[in-house]
Structure 1
Amino acid sequence: MRQKTQASYFKFIGPLLVVLVTTFFVYEQGIHGSLFYDDHLFLDALENIDSFDDASRFVADGAGGPLGRPIALVSFLPHAGDWPATSVEARRINVIIHLLNGTLLFALGYMILRLRDQKASRTSYWIAFGAASLWLVMPILASTSLITVQRWTSLAMLFGLMGLVVFVYGYFLQSRQPIRALLIQGLGLGFGTLLAVFTKESGALFPVYALLIDAVLLQTLMAPAPIRWLRRGALWLALFALLAYLSPLYRDWFSVSSFRGWSSFERLQTEVVLLWQYLYMAFFPLPTAFSPFHEDVTLVQGWQLPALSAFGFIILTAIAFTIRKRNPWPLFALLWFFTGHLIESTVIQLELMFEHRNYLAIYGFCLALAAIAWQLPQRYARLGPAVFASYTLLLALILYGTTSIWGQPLVAAENWAKRHPQSPRAINYLAETYHEALGYIGPVLPQLDLAADNCSQCTHIKFQILLYLCGKSEESDIARRFEEVLESAPTARRTNGILDGLYPLQELLALNACPPLTAADAIKLPLILLDNPQYSAWEYQVYAHFHVAYFAKEMGDLETAYSHLAEAERLSPKTLPILQMQLHLLLKEHRYDEALAAIERRRKVAHDRFMTDDVLDELAASVREAAAKAKTANSPPDAPAT
């Protein structure tokens, strides 16, 4: 009997293990790739963690979202020992999280199907297995694991899916112990959602996923009316709260963001078009179609295409709704997909497109396709699963091609630059990859120059090329290229690339490593950007004023430096580097009272996690110490005793 039980268990878990091991092998081809833009932005600080206080600051200073995403940041601390070398291991952990999510989706699908049909255990198993297998090998999901920092997406889903699995498990108890079942459902879903939200804010969607399962797939389950009303009422309340947060009642849909350059309504119009593109990329993929770089996606102009796209979804949803009693799977797939995109693909002012936004959203279609394949009429009973299995295998092969590209940085960089010639990040990644591998960008310089020439507003690309050529090209070439940067700067496209690039330029000029350029040349670029309408947002203005002040300081023009620092302080009094540069200049001129006054001005504004009262106290103490030393040094010696 025991052997029979073990054999049955292996029969149950064996096929899933095969898929998990195969998926791990496929993803292993991609984990030796690179770190990307957000990886550097949010994880570079791991390199400097040497103590518990450093680790605490790293977690507390999280700026990935409104809640800081502390749980995700804690999960990166074990990789801090030898970062960035340990980033390979970090991506391997990402893959393991992906496999765990696939396992949870198998369990979730199996339980839902058993609840819908208690007699069809074998069919339920293969539908759940097929859906999880298809989801695991979808190439559109590769970036979630291979962009290191996107662990916060997959880890949030891990916590949320745990809660969702417990929620669905509660249905098995509700006929006998309805109150206990409801308590288990509430605690499981609530705790899982809470962990998910503090890993990534999109975890707030899990009560809506639970509502879809309850209202679309399990609405016929027997339960006492008060239990059913209480459960569904709580889930509807969560949905209404989220919709209110996104609605025009809470946020202005029609004002244009000076930082992004579009309104929430314009973004919504573009996103409804991109949803179709996501579906095409998910189910008709090419190995070269997926990359970390999509900031070249622009707003859809006009109302016709958004209207047609929205109308298409409305018609499909209406048809799915009318046939829901005979076949609920199309309606479930569509609503699950819309739910997955409710936060990141609507009106919140995020970048327009990222593949990882489909990470859980696409699962509804996977489950629906599997259910339809295994529930075809009798004469097609074998054909459906065979076609589904063949399609899943095809996607696995395409995923292998995708991960193989990601695992070869030079190959990936060239491919992504060709597919995204208007992407500053893709072009910069190409230059960066060759510079790291060869110490020089010569092999791809013609391609970089062509990308820059084909984009009149891509000043950032011209500037990045210049930085990589500093010290490695003729002075006349450097001077010519910098002049081209200045000529295009008045109409430069809005991007952080130029302002961020001024920091390495500061370092190069300090070492005289970019002749013939000097601070007097460099200061012209941020001055031009200050008058560029694309850089009118206060965030850009602060950085531009700060850079002008820095280069003015290096030129010895302290009056100009003070002036621009004052303007930067007016725009962003909480920015600590502005105060630090002001103190540096004032102490240099022994203007101690003014230095203390600059510190005291900051006490009147709300501090952030960098500019705290303790930090201000330390700065004030250092100013007083410097003043005391200066006073001692300048005081006359004591008169000799008589």
Structure 2
Amino acid sequence: MSFVYSSAATRKLPWLLLLTATAFIPGLLGPFVLDDHANFQLLFAWWSGETSLSRAIFDNGSGPLQRPISYLTFAMNMAIFGEQPFGFKALSLVFHLLTALALAALLNRLLTVHGMNERRAAAWSMICAAAWAIHPLQVSTVLYSVQRMEVLSSLAQILAVLAYIQGRTLQASQARTGLLWLWLAFPATMAAGMLCKENAILALPLALAVEVSALNCLPKTRSVWAWTGILCLGVVAIVLFAATDPGYFFGGYAARDFDLWQRLITEPRVLSHYLLATFLPFDQNLYLFRDGLPISTSWAQPISTLLSIVGLLAVSALAFGIRRSRPLLSLGLLWWLVCHSLEAGPLSLELAFEHRNYLALAGLLIAALGLAPTKLLAHRHSLWLASISLLLPLWLLCVQRSYAWGDLDRLLSAESPPPPQVSRRLQVIEIARGIEANDPGRTQRAFAALENSGADNATIAATWHAIVDCSLEAKLSPSRRAAFMQSRPSVMTFQHANWLGMLSRRVDNGGCDGLTPADLQTTVVRWLEHLKKPPHAISMRQLRDQRLLPQDAER
């Protein structure tokens, strides 16, 4: 392990682990959230004997590669702890600790390559890795069980970059060994990461970012140019594939409230939100439910769109321009940009999720090291000052947020977006929680929030009024029936199809006086006629499977 940790760094590892573990312990007893249950359905079926383990791991429908390594770790969870969320969160914390150790090793290598003495490099790498590990922004990745995929992918990317640095530094003295690191260890680690989550492919541009900035002092070799060529060929192949089969990458926009152009001009604003949450990690900037973020409709609507785009272009130009004069600062900025390049790009994903900052946050810490004056980093009191002024506040904020994640109602209260944003996902959960707790006031507040936040959300409110009334009273009043049948969404999302299915099952079972299967079919046909764009094929299949379309519509 000498190439990973120096002896000085090894002595500090227990403090890094202890600080991180204690910050997340308050949240380990929390519940599954959002799509945890949906992603674990096959695992639950395997646990109850309804399907095979191989199907749960290799045929789960989670991404193009099925992410079998991630699902294998989830299966390990169930084998040890059963179906309880605690086991999932605890093992995710273990992988988070391992990722923090890997990041500390990477930072240590970068600092020593740039001439910092072993003891000082060990201390600063541990402080930065600890700040990354206990930043409250990481809570919504570590304690959101299914996002272990992100944790494992990030761990693999860091290890792959470490392998790249090791190969590059060995090429001058041990050419064959260096080639093994570059052409065996690096691609193998990256491939393993892609079997956790496909975004581990970013290990390749991350390694090249290290090359053009932090390692520009080393002589360029044929391997470097080969990796550059592979990256370029990969980009060209993706572009050609997207041109021949655009539906593979962009078909999901049919089920989104935004189109490709709106996503591309909104994402710079999303990145600015992430930066705000990074540097001011307080409650108003940290929230899980970001689906109510306003969409940019033009360059200047809202004006923050243009400002964010200009800022992003300026950061990109700065990162490339200072790669020789301030290599670590350049690397930090490039790292942050690369980590966001895939999920902030043209793929038809949701606009914002905090787990996309998980590995990107490391880039900002590298940039901080590169920005700090050499004399400051070398001063004997600077380490203590950084530990107290940086780590202590972050630890307290992380504990506070972890505590909120330890209980569903605390989480829903703490993770609500700031006004005027309204999260439809949160309000639907609030409706269900109000019913479970026999708290009609809570339910009505959630309905009011939806009804007063636009026609699309009002449609959701009308649908859920029908679901709730049919479930609790087995009857739908004429006014609620009229509101539901006259509602008109502008987009048919996957959620709409799921909610209509819930309502259909209640109506088909004869559990809703006042609403018939014919009423549902009429409403769905009117919805489809009103849509701004054709619905996604999956949504249409769901509607047909649930007999929510008449026979002539199916043809």
- Give the structure-1-normalised TM-score: 0.76
Note the 1:31-70 alignment, pairs <5 A: 31-49=28-46, 50=48, 54-70=52-68
Contact persistence 2:329–2:370 (CA under 8 A)? no
**Contact persistence 2:485–2:519 (CA under 8 A):** no
Match of 2:114 in 1: 116
| Structure-2 residue corresponding to 1:236 | 228
What amino acid does structure 2 have at the position aligned with 1:452? L
Shift of residue 153, structure 1, vs aligned partner: 0.9
Deviating more after overlay: 124-133 vs 48-57: 48-57
Structure 2 match to 1:496: 494
Q: In the alignment, which of 189, 193, 197 is matched to residue 196 of structure 1? A: 193
Q: Amino acid of the residue matched to residue 73 of structure 2?
A: S
Q: Aligned-pair distance for 1:526? A: 1.9
Q: Which residue, out of 275, 284, 288, partners 1:279?
A: 275
Partner Cα separation in structure 2 for residue 322 and residue 482 of structure 1: 62
2:173 equivalent to 1:211: no
When residues 471 and 68 of structure 1 are mapped into structure 2, their CA distance, relative to the original with a 3 A threshold, is closer
Are 1:106 and 1:132, in contact at CA under 8 Å, matched by a contact in 2? yes
CA distance in 1, matches of 2:481, 2:412: 25
- C-alpha deviation, 1:347, in angstroms: 1.2
1:246 deviates by: 5.7
**1:417–1:167 Cα change, 3 Å:** closer
Taking structure 1 as reference, are residues 453 and 401 closer, same or farther at Cα in structure 2, changes over 3 Å only?
A: same
Identity %: 22
Paired letter, 1:278: Y
Larger radius of gyration: 1
Separation in structure 2 between the aligned mates of residue 175 and residue 379 of structure 1, nearest angstrom: 29
Query: Counterpart of 2:288?
Result: 292
Deviation at 1:172, TM superposition (A): 4.5
* Structure 1 position 369, deviation (Å): 1.5
Alpha-carbon displacement from aligned partner over 1:538-572 (angstroms, at most 9, x marks no partner): 4233333444x36x8xxxxxxx4x434x43xxxxx
When residues 521 and 130 of structure 1 are mapped into structure 2, their CA distance, relative to the original with a 3 A threshold, is same
Deviates more, 1:126-135 or 1:413-422: 413-422
Amino acid across the alignment from 1:165: L
- Amino acid aligned to 2:53: A
Task: Evaluate the alpha carbon distance shift between residue 315 and residue 497 of structure 1 in structure 2; reply closer, same or farther with a 3 A threshold.
Answer: closer
Deviations 1:130-170 (A, max 9, x none): 21011101222222112211111111122232222222233
Whole-angstrom distance in 2 between the partners of 1:27 and 1:183: 38
Of 320-329 and 293-302, the range deviating more from structure 2: 320-329
Q: How many Å separate the matches in 1 of 2:503 and 2:314?
A: 54
Per-residue CA deviations over 1:355-396 (Å, capped at 9, x if unaligned) read: 111111121111232454472458976357614641232122
Query: Equivalents in 1 of 2:514, 2:315: separation in Å?
Result: 63
Structure 1 CA distance for aligned equivalents of residues 316 and 518 of structure 2:
61
Matches within 5 A, 1:477-556: 478-488=477-487, 490-534=488-532, 536-539=534-537, 540-547=539-546, 549=547
Give the match for residue 460 of structure 1.
Answer: 460
Is the 8 Å Cα contact of residues 452 and 461 (structure 1) preserved in structure 2?
yes
Give, in angstroms, the shift of residue 350 of structure 1. Answer: 1.2
| Cα distance change, pair 418–365 in 1 and its aligned pair in 2 (3 A) | closer
Please state how far the C-alpha of 1:202 moved relative to its aligned partner.
Answer: 0.5
Partner of 1:582: none
Evaluate the alpha carbon distance shift between residue 414 and residue 484 of structure 1 in structure 2; reply closer, same or farther with a 3 A threshold. Answer: farther
* Alpha carbons of structure 1 residues 101 and 201: separation in structure 2 relative to 1, 3 Å: same
280 and 417 in structure 1: CA distance in 2 versus 1, 3 angstrom threshold? closer
What amino acid does structure 1 have at the position aligned with 2:552?
S
Relative to structure 2, which stretch is displaced further, 425-434 or 183-192?
Answer: 425-434
The letter for the 1-side match of 2:425 is R
Q: Report the 3-state secondary structure (helix = DSSP H, G, I; strand = E; otherwise coil) of the residue aligned with 1:217.
A: coil
Per-residue deviation at 1:77?
Answer: 1.4
Offset at residue 18 of structure 1 (A):
2.0
Aligned partner of 1:147 in structure 2 is 144
Q: Distance in 2 between matches of 1:563 and 1:451?
A: 37
Larger RCO (CA under 8 A, 6+ residues apart): 2
Once the two structures are superposed, residues 233-287 of structure 1 have per-residue CA deviations (whole angstroms, 9 ceiling, x without a partner) of 1321243234335658844699994333544343222212222221111111113
Q: CA deviation at 1:216?
A: 0.7
Cα offset for 1:348?
Answer: 1.4
SS of aligned partner of 2:346: coil
Given that 2:81 and 2:87 are in contact with CA atoms closer than 8 Å, whether structure 1 keeps it comes out as no
Contact 1:47/1:84 (8 A) holds in 2: no
Deviation at 1:120, TM superposition (A): 1.0
Taking the aligned partners of 1:31 and 1:69, their CA distance within structure 2 comes to 24
Q: Distance in 1 between matches of 2:29 and 2:461?
A: 26
CA-based RMSD? 3.1
SS, match of residue 254 in structure 2? coil
Assess if the C-alpha contact under 8 Å between 2:100 and 2:133 holds in 1: yes
Q: Is the 8 A contact 2:159 2:189 kept in 1?
A: yes
Alpha carbons 1:463, 1:482 under 8 Å: kept? no
Alignment of 1:335-346 (within 5 A): 335-346=334-345
Deviation of the 1:425 alpha carbon = 1.0
Q: Which runs of 5+ in 2 are unaligned?
A: none
Instruction: Give yes or no for contact 2:60–2:66 (8 Å, CA) kept in 1.
Output: yes
Alignment partners' CA distance in 2, 1:205 and 1:482: 50
Q: Using the alignment, how far apart are the partners of 2:524 and 2:79 within structure 1?
A: 38
Aligned residue identity for 1:375: T
Q: What is the TM-score of this pair, normalised by structure 2?
A: 0.87
Contact kept in structure 2, 1:27 and 1:95, CA below 8 Å: yes
Instruction: State the alpha-carbon separation in 2 of the partners of residues 387 and 423 from structure 1.
Output: 37
| CA–CA distance in structure 2, aligned partners of residues 254 and 9 of structure 1 | 47
> 1:418–1:265: structure 2 CA closer, same or farther, 3 Å change rule?
closer
Question: CA 1:377 to 1:72, structure 2 compared with 1: closer, same or farther past 3 Å?
Answer: closer
1:302 to 298, 301, 307: 298
Q: Tell me how far 1:193 sits from its aligned partner.
A: 0.6
2:460 matches 1:470:
no
Looking at structure 2, the residues matched to 359 and 310 of structure 1 have their Cα atoms a distance apart, in angstroms, of: 22
Q: 2:111–2:121: 8 Å Cα contact kept in structure 1?
A: yes
Separation (CA, whole Å) in 1 of partners of 2:409 and 2:478: 29
CA deviations 1:171-217 (Å, max 9, x no partner) are 44333212221222221111011111121110101011111222211
Alignment of 1:157-196 (within 5 A): 157-196=154-193
* Aligned counterpart for 2:88 among listed residues 87, 90, 102: 90
Report the CA distance shift for 1:246/1:130 in structure 2 as closer, same or farther (over 3 A): farther
| Change in 2 beyond 3 A, CA 1:139/1:415 | closer
Q: Which runs of 5+ in 1 are unaligned?
A: 1-7, 553-559, 568-642
Superposition deviation, residue 321 in structure 1? 4.4
In structure 2, distance between residues paired with 1:388 and 1:374: 17
Equivalent-residue separation in structure 1 for 2:112 and 2:8 (angstroms): 18
Kindly provide the amino acid, as one letter, of the partner of residue 45 in structure 1.
Answer: L
Aligned ranges 1:595-610 → 2 under 5 Å: none
Is the contact made by 1:101 and 1:158 (CA closer than 8 Å) also made in structure 2? yes
Deviations 1:318-348 (A, max 9, x none): 4454444442222111111111011111111
Count of residues paired in the alignment: 539
Counterpart residue number, 1:5: none
Measure, in 2, the Cα distance between the counterparts of 1:323 and 1:15: 32
Paired residue type of 2:94: I
Q: Structure 1: how far apart are the matches of 2:449 and 2:478?
A: 20
Give the superposition deviation at 1:22: 2.4
